[in-house]
């Protein structure tokens, strides 16, 4: 696997940049999340300025540690907020990437149950073409979610919509899958709709305990995202990382925390988890285990630039 091809582009909340500008990137984090459900989800449930005030120090903390790219994985109906992300990007200089797509029940609106995959994809393609919720902020990838088992019909529809939207826009798809069986089912469905497995991210892959299944997904060419850093046990994530590197998948690994966030509904947003475990603890552990700087650069800089490159 190579670096992002020359001229590869990334869509940030402040517009398109060259993939080479993205730099050290956390491919799966959250600024704010509202777990209230699709029926009540609304920006009226929080104060944007309070969210920005609360989360800005956490972003500045990683900026000081050398992080320059932040992929915000909060989907629509869970408080994806282009205004908050753009303000934070302007205030901190961080490259934020947001998404289109939909999560799983109970974070799907009634309409999603009624319309076809094609119509659903049409909504997401419109966000890519016109911007999100009346802003000119455009999505940089497609986020979906499934349960950790073979896919229910509703989830097959959402994944099919993601395939249609990805082919129309060139955006990469990331799916909260957690389990190898679910990942393989998603991949099968995407492939049937002509999506290259290299355009798909297996989110929460570290939660799969059967490495044979992870290897089966990696062999297809997909991204294996170990995004429980700081929450999961360091030794277990490290052992999975070492197995992936040993099996030759250095060009397909992504590392992140799935941390943050301002929690809508809790006083003052609750207690966000910082985004610093990777730089402060995990990378030093990788170095102690003999993982060289070139490998660390590939995993933290080159891989995210390729994973989220458009086209
Ligand atoms: Zn997440």
Alpha carbon of 249 to ligand 1 centroid (Å) = 23
Alpha carbon of 72 to ligand 1 centroid (Å) = 8
**Contact residues for 199 (Cβ-Cβ < 8 A; gap 6+):** 166, 172, 173, 190
Tell me the residues surrounding ligand 1 (ion) with CB < 5 Å. Answer: 73, 258
Alpha carbon of 84 to ligand 1 centroid (Å) = 17
Alpha carbon of 260 to ligand 1 centroid (Å) = 9
CA-to-CA dists, residue 237 to 24, 187, 253, angstroms: 20, 23, 12
Q: What is the model's pTM? A: 0.96
Alpha carbon of 73 to ligand 1 centroid (Å) = 6
Q: pLDDT (tens digit, 9 = 90+) per residue, 109-161?
A: 999 999 999 999 999 999 999 999 999 999 999 999 999 999 999 999 999 99
Alpha carbon of 28 to ligand 1 centroid (Å) = 6
Alpha carbon of 75 to ligand 1 centroid (Å) = 9
Alpha carbon of 30 to ligand 1 centroid (Å) = 6
Alpha carbon of 195 to ligand 1 centroid (Å) = 23
Alpha carbon of 154 to ligand 1 centroid (Å) = 21
Rg (CA), the chain: 18
CA-to-CA dists, residue 107 to 64, 68, 116, 148, 302, angstroms: 35, 30, 17, 16, 33
C-alpha to C-alpha distance for 71 and 104, rounded to whole angstroms: 20
Alpha carbon of 175 to ligand 1 centroid (Å) = 10
- CB distance 66 to 93 below 8 Å: no
Query: ∠ at Cα 310 (304, 311), nearest 5°?
Result: 125
Q: Which of 156, 218, 223, 153 is nearest to 190 (CA)?
A: 156
In the chain, which stretches have pLDDT less than 50?
A: 1-2
What CATH number should be reported for the domain whose range is 9-307?
Answer: 3.20.20.140
Q: Which of 311, 287, 299 is nearest to 9 (CA)?
A: 311
Q: Which of 199, 111, 126, 196 is nearest to 157 (CA)?
A: 111
Alpha carbon of 29 to ligand 1 centroid (Å) = 6
Alpha carbon of 257 to ligand 1 centroid (Å) = 8
Alpha carbon of 176 to ligand 1 centroid (Å) = 8
Q: Return the domain boundaries, the chain.
A: 9-307
Please report the pLDDT score of residue 7 as a whole number. 85
């Amino acid at each position: 696997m190579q670096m992002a091809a020359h001229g590869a582009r990334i869509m940030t909340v402040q517009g398109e940049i060259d993939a080479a500008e993205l730099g050290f990137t956390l491919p799966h984090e959250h600024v704010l999340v509202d777990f209230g459900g699709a029926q009540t989800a609304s920006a009226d449930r929080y104060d944007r300025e309070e969210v920005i005030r609360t989360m800005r120090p956490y972003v500045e903390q990683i900026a000081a540690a050398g992080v320059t790219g932040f992929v915000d994985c909060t989907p629509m109906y869970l408080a994806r907020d282009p205004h908050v992300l753009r303000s934070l990007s302007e205030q901190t200089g961080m490259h934020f990437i947001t998404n289109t797509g939909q999560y799983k029940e109970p974070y799907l609106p009634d309409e999603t149950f009624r319309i076809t995959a094609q119509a659903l994809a049409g909504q997401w393609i419109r966000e890519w073409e016109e911007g999100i919720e009346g802003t000119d902020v455009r999505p940089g990838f497609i986020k979906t979610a499934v349960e950790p088992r073979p896919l229910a019909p509703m989830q097959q529809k959402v994944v099919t919509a993601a395939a249609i939207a990805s082919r129309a826009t060139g955006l990469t798809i990331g799916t909260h899958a957690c389990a190898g069986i679910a990942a393989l089912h998603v991949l099968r469905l995407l492939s049937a709709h002509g999506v290259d497995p290299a355009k798909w991210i297996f989110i929460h892959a570290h939660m799969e305990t059967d490495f044979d299944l992870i290897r089966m997904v990696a062999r297809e060419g997909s991204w294996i995202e170990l995004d429980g850093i700081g929450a999961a046990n360091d030794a277990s994530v490290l052992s999975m990382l070492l197995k992936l590197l040993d099996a030759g998948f250095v060009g397909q690994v992504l590392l992140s925390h799935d941390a943050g966030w301002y929690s809508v509904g809790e006083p003052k947003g609750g207690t966000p988890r910082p985004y610093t475990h990777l730089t402060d603890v995990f990378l030093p552990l990788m170095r102690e285990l003999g993982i060289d700087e070139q490998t660390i650069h590939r995993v933290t800089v080159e891989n995210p630039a390729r994973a989220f490159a458009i086209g």
